[in-house]
Amino acid sequence: MTGDPVPDLDVSAAVADAHRREWAFVLAATARVARDIDVAEECVQDAYVAALDAWSRQGVPRNPAAWLTTTARRRALDAQRRDRILRAKLPLLIEPGSVAGSGGPAADDPAAAGETADPDEDVIADDRLRLVFTCCHPALAREAQVALTLRLVCGLTTAEIAQAFLVSEPTMAARVTRAKKKISAARIPYRVPGPAELPDRLDAVLTVVHLLYTTGHTAPAGPDLVRGDLVERAIGLARMLRELMPDEREVSGLLALLLLTDARRATRAGADGRLLLLQEQDRSRWNRAAIAEGIGLVTGALRGRTGRPPGAAGLDRPGRFILQAAIAAVHAEAPSYGETDWPQLLRLYGELLKAWPTPVVALNRAVVHAMVAGPEAGLADIEGVERDGRLAGYRYLPAAKADLLRRLGRHQDAARAYRIALDLTDNDAERAFLAGRITEVCAGPADGG
């Protein structure tokens, strides 16, 4: 199975590649044996170090993940034997034998699984979902869920995570430690939730992955490289989730949303760094392969293959990720901004507002409504959102309102709204844009209607 000794450079590359691709798999499988996340992490780190040496002597194994898992599991079992008496007193990571709805192997003996595993054995249960659901458990704060997912599922170092979220390394280390301690002390189970809890729990997981993506996509500061990495990690996680839960169509929706959004990455900002509006972007530079894949995914998801019986508690309706992806698909399919299918967008935003009633969605729907039925109709909607009050301080509300007022020829009202938006904006490029608009409407003809 293994070849001749290989040059060190190739081995380092193989180990680095296995780290990127297989970390979650190896850690998830080891955590079940170690029954403690910290111990599992240590054993997996050790296994990667051991791989550097072993692979340069014996060659890179055919299945690196299996090799790493077996090595890490053996270390975990050794550690357990050493600390048996002590460990009996410590809280363990729960891994109940009977797992509702996980489809995983039931009641297997972790010790036996680890000891009989052959380095080339492919049949190692895939525990990555357990790991993801544990990291995104609702008993953990959202920021802890995000940090744990990057640390445990993606294998990022605490320093890398701290850098991506613009906090100090000790702060991030404390956050991760606190979360791990809660998993252990409160006995957050290491399992995939049963069918009754799954929709809510899955939504938390998808929210974390989406948050990773948006952080990488729109981070206000920080080195570009790290931000790009977060985007890649989020897409990678979405792909992994889809592979593991092919029947969960919201997962397909999320992957489609990320691909369709990311397809526009190269055209999002102008040469001056200012974020470009959709109508200003060069559509010829959009990533067609990503768009095609995203549209394929969202089309399948909308057709509604679901893992659950239709009609059960409204679960057959597309959720927010599918609908957001469908909206992104409509934009991606339009040959130009002017040729966008606005009525279709209005329908999708209506559905999205039902699935996810937030004022930001209502604001976006109002802007689309204006494209379909004219600025007057959109303005009435925006004023409704304004009365709701939850978006006070959200600069895109007065900016959108100002735009409609400008198109209605109500220049003084428009200037007033642009100034409110300007006061709420810190970003220099956006301030310049709004200031330009103010000059424009002030110089325009006297108010019409």
Shortest CB 212 distance to other proteins, Å: 24
Report the residue from 6, 94, 244, 275 that binds other proteins according to the rule CB under 8 A: 94
Residues with Cβ within 8 Å of residue 203, at least 6 apart in sequence: 250, 319
Tell me what percent of the chain is helix, strand and coil, each rounded to the nearest 5: 70, 0, 30
Q: Which of 104, 106, 102 is nearest to 126 (CA)?
A: 104
Whichever of 100 and 292 has its CB closer to other proteins, that residue is: 100
Residues 377-436 that bind other proteins (CB under 8 A): none
Report the residue from 1, 141, 159, 186 that binds other proteins according to the rule CB under 8 A: 186
Part in contact with other proteins (CB under 8 A); list of ranges 88-96, 143-151, 318-326, 393-401 = 88-96
The alpha carbon of 144 is separated from its chain's Cα centroid by a whole number of angstroms, namely 14
Whichever of 187 and 354 has its CB closer to other proteins, that residue is: 187
Residues 195-214 that bind other proteins (CB under 8 A): 197
Whichever of 59 and 91 has its CB closer to other proteins, that residue is: 91
Shortest CB 182 distance to other proteins, Å: 9
Using CB under 8 A as the binding rule, whether residue 187 contacts other proteins is answered as yes
Using CB under 8 A as the binding rule, whether residue 104 contacts other proteins is answered as no
Report the residue from 49, 90, 174, 292 that binds other proteins according to the rule CB under 8 A: 90
Q: Which of 176, 190, 182, 184 is nearest to 134 (CA)?
A: 190
Report the residue from 64, 193, 253, 319 that binds other proteins according to the rule CB under 8 A: 193
Using CB under 8 A as the binding rule, whether residue 159 contacts other proteins is answered as no
Burial of 118 (0-12, 13-18, 19+ CB in 10 A): exposed
Beta strands, E only, 251-383? none
Whichever of 88 and 123 has its CB closer to other proteins, that residue is: 88
Using CB under 8 A as the binding rule, whether residue 141 contacts other proteins is answered as no
Using CB under 8 A as the binding rule, whether residue 188 contacts other proteins is answered as yes
Q: What is the DSSP letter of 275?
A: B
Q: What is the DSSP string of 121-184?
A: -------HHHHHHHHT-TTS-HHHHHHHIIIIIS---HHHHHHHTT--HHHHHHHHHHHHHHHH
Residues 33-72 that bind other proteins (CB under 8 A): none
Residue 164 corresponds to which amino acid?
A
Radius of gyration of the chain (CA): 25
Q: Which of 220, 107, 118, 230 is nearest to 164 (CA)?
A: 230
Residue 244 corresponds to which amino acid?
L
Using CB under 8 A as the binding rule, whether residue 31 contacts other proteins is answered as no
Using CB under 8 A as the binding rule, whether residue 106 contacts other proteins is answered as no
Using CB under 8 A as the binding rule, whether residue 189 contacts other proteins is answered as yes
Whichever of 202 and 330 has its CB closer to other proteins, that residue is: 202
Structure token pair of residue 401? 């309102």
Residue 336 corresponds to which amino acid?
S
Using CB under 8 A as the binding rule, whether residue 185 contacts other proteins is answered as yes
Please tell me the distance from the alpha carbon of residue 130 to that of residue 132, in angstroms, as a whole number. 6
Shortest CB 33 distance to other proteins, Å: 18
Whichever of 103 and 223 has its CB closer to other proteins, that residue is: 103
Residues with Cβ within 8 Å of residue 99, at least 6 apart in sequence: 106, 191, 192
How many residues touch other proteins under the rule CB under 8 A: the total is 15
Please tell me the distance from the alpha carbon of residue 281 to that of residue 299, in angstroms, as a whole number. 25
Q: Which of 117, 136, 114, 151 is nearest to 37 (CA)?
A: 151
Part in contact with other proteins (CB under 8 A); list of ranges 146-154, 181-189, 210-218, 372-380 = 181-189
Shortest CB 358 distance to other proteins, Å: 24
Q: Do you know the residue count of the chain?
A: 449
Whichever of 94 and 373 has its CB closer to other proteins, that residue is: 94
Instruction: Report the greatest alpha carbon distance in the chain.
Output: 85
Pair 37, 153: CB distance under 8 Å = no
Q: Which of 88, 81, 93 is nearest to 28 (CA)?
A: 93
Whichever of 9 and 185 has its CB closer to other proteins, that residue is: 185
Shortest CB 10 distance to other proteins, Å: 44
Report the residue from 59, 91, 101, 104 that binds other proteins according to the rule CB under 8 A: 91
Residue 238 corresponds to which amino acid?
A
Part in contact with other proteins (CB under 8 A); list of ranges 11-19, 187-195, 279-287, 425-433 = 187-195
Shortest CB 85 distance to other proteins, Å: 10
Part in contact with other proteins (CB under 8 A); list of ranges 37-45, 91-99, 352-360, 422-430 = 91-99
Q: Which residues bind other proteins (CB under 8 A)?
A: 86, 89-91, 94, 96, 137, 139, 185-189, 193, 197
